[in-house]
Amino acid sequence: MLKKLTKEDADYAAERCWALYQDPASRCYPVHESRETMARSFAVFCEYESGTLLGYWSGDALKGVCELYFEQETRYLRITALYAWDDACAALDAFLGHIDTEFIGYEVNVGLSPENTKLANALAKHGYAVAEENFDLRYDAVSLTPKKSTMQGIALLEDETDDGFEEYAPLHDAWFRDDYWDSARLRELQGDWQAFTLRGKTGIEGALFVLTGHRMAEIYALHAGRGQAAEALLKAMLWQNEAAEFGSNEILFMVRIEDELHLQAALDCGFKLFGRYLGWRKTI
């Protein structure tokens, strides 16, 4: 049986899910920094206008948790947590069946590690397919000191009112057209993002976009035609993080497996391979 969880359930749900998150064979994305951050997310989604936290119950026992984020206007849905134990197959089937019934017309997205075959099999059974495959790279900003970029023409944007944003916005949408964070969303997201642009003879020729955070930041997009340019943008971002009063302790970068240029640039800057990510997708 499925029912919405309450804030009172959030701590126990996070305790069970956090233990599963540690194992690639049961991990799904997005990344959580700790059990506490997972519990806070669960508590928020219990009362979130654009989300919900569902539990799968067998008798009086909680056997699974599913956290959903959705946008009614764009018909976008992301499964932000999907964990089950004991009656795992039954729980996963119930959660995915609920999504099929309640979110007709939505594009549904979910990320997981390739080792999570139980969830992958359940997704395939319900008509999902792999839409992207990435390397999960991490940079330890506590232990490492970045090298400063010597390339000229790099500028930092942090707000839509910054000089250069209007020039950058259409390029952002063209270069990262499949990315969730388009320029319209950047205009709405105040103070939590940075874009590093690289200007050449013809104008802005490259860019790196990152969502900032104290414990963890995530590079969502990088456009550069040359390895030297990609490395320079990464170095500029890492140096900015190092110099910030409240810089991130760790930086996540998902690189498509076919993108050898960006992968090599990241490795040269000190990123390490943490694992792999599979993005599954379905339109209901």
Condensed to tens digits (0 to 9), the pLDDT of residues 103-112 reads 999 999 999 9
How does DSSP assign 222-233, residue by residue?
A: EE-SSHHHHHHH
Backbone angles phi, psi at 186, to 5 degrees: -65, -35
pTM for the model: 0.87
CB atoms within 10 A of CB 265: 25
Condensed to tens digits (0 to 9), the pLDDT of residues 129-147 reads 999 999 999 999 999 989 8
Instruction: Give residue 195's region: left, alpha or beta (phi > 0; psi -120 to 50).
Output: beta
How does DSSP assign 240-273, residue by residue?
A: HHHHSTT--SEEEEEEETT-HHHHHHHHHTT-EE
C-alpha 79 chain-centroid distance: 11
CB atoms within 10 A of CB 131: 14
Task: Check pLDDT > 80 for residue 189.
Answer: no
Mention every residue, 6+ apart, whose C-beta is less than 8 A from residue 6: 46
| pLDDT-derived band at 98, boundaries 50, 70, 90 | very high
Mention every residue, 6+ apart, whose C-beta is less than 8 A from residue 55: 2, 3, 4, 5, 9, 13, 62, 64, 65, 66
How many CA atoms lie within 13 Å of 251's alpha carbon, on the beta-carbon side? 30
